[in-house]
Amino acid sequence: MKEISPDQLYKLFNRSKRNTENVIKAAPIGICITTPSGHFEMVNPAYCEFYGYQQEELLGQHFTQVVPKENRAILSALHDEFMRGNENQELRQEWDVVVKSGEIRTIIAEAARIEAEDGEPRKVTFIIDITQRKQLEERLKQANELLDHLAHHDELTELLNRRAGLQRLDEEIQRFKRYGTPFSIAMYDLDDFKALNDTYGHSAGDSVLQQITILVSERLRDTDLHIRLGGEEFLIIMPGVNAKEAYQGMDRVRKSVAQQTFTEHQLTVTLSSGIASYAEGSGSRLLDHADKAMYQAKQAGRNRVVIASSSM
């Protein structure tokens, strides 16, 4: 059977009201007619099949029977407003509906206001099932969100990855140049991490990285940015603080890590960190200052925080 569009059906209604019932029954899309009060006066076989009801289960019932409870008041109010509108008013909207089995589906409902033989208005509604299309759109949206997340986050630790982190560092530098907002960075890595991997395996090493980064993130401020640069090396961007304040915050982090044990092996791990505050220059120069300070912390015996001399 050749499909009839809602617009074609609407024209048929206006052309011959006597043929309305036959048109409705033969239509391949769901159609219903509701009274000014919103009760079903006529439903076609396609409408009943879509919702899973027999005709007698719907006739005389309020149309919100097929609407999720949380939307019934809204749709009922829209119906009343629609019925008070101009005679040729039309309405096309997307809605979630609930079929007899309780399944939620998504439809496009296109409604037209017509005058019945008794002189009273009626609402004729055509429904088109777009559930599969919406599900596909949702899956595509989730896939795109996942791809975007993977593009900006480290897969193991869920922290910002190197590329995204350095981009945020550049943004912080631009903010400093425009508004003079101070900020500092801390670079840290885990002491003797290679030995840990060699002794307990990379699986244990990955677990340590995950647990430590969670612990460190919990000790940071909400405004701080925690970034995995690669391997066991990390960067923290600390907006609005000077080198001394960054040192105090990072030293608390260092102590927290040293006091914990990790994995089922009850491993103790320490970190060394270098602090640098931005004054001028590029992000790579700032990172170089912090990296040299971190190297000094390693040379001085590890498990400590050192402020870069240029930040003193």
Positions marked catalytic: 232
Cβ atoms 110, 91 nearer than 8 A: yes
The pair of three-digit structure tokens given for residue 32, joined into one six-digit string: 């219903």
4: Cβ contacts below 8 Å, ≥ 6 apart: 12, 27, 28, 29
The alpha helices in 40-130, defined as continuous H runs, are 45-51, 55-58, 72-83
Cβ atoms 250, 187 nearer than 8 A: no
Taking the C-alpha atoms of residue 256 and residue 19, their distance in angstroms, rounded to an integer, is 80
The pair of three-digit structure tokens given for residue 167, joined into one six-digit string: 């981009």
Among the listed residues 274, 306, 287, 275, the one whose alpha carbon sits nearest the alpha carbon of residue 168: 287
The alpha helices in 96-226, defined as continuous H runs, are 131-152, 162-179, 193-200, 202-219
Taking the C-alpha atoms of residue 10 and residue 110, their distance in angstroms, rounded to an integer, is 10
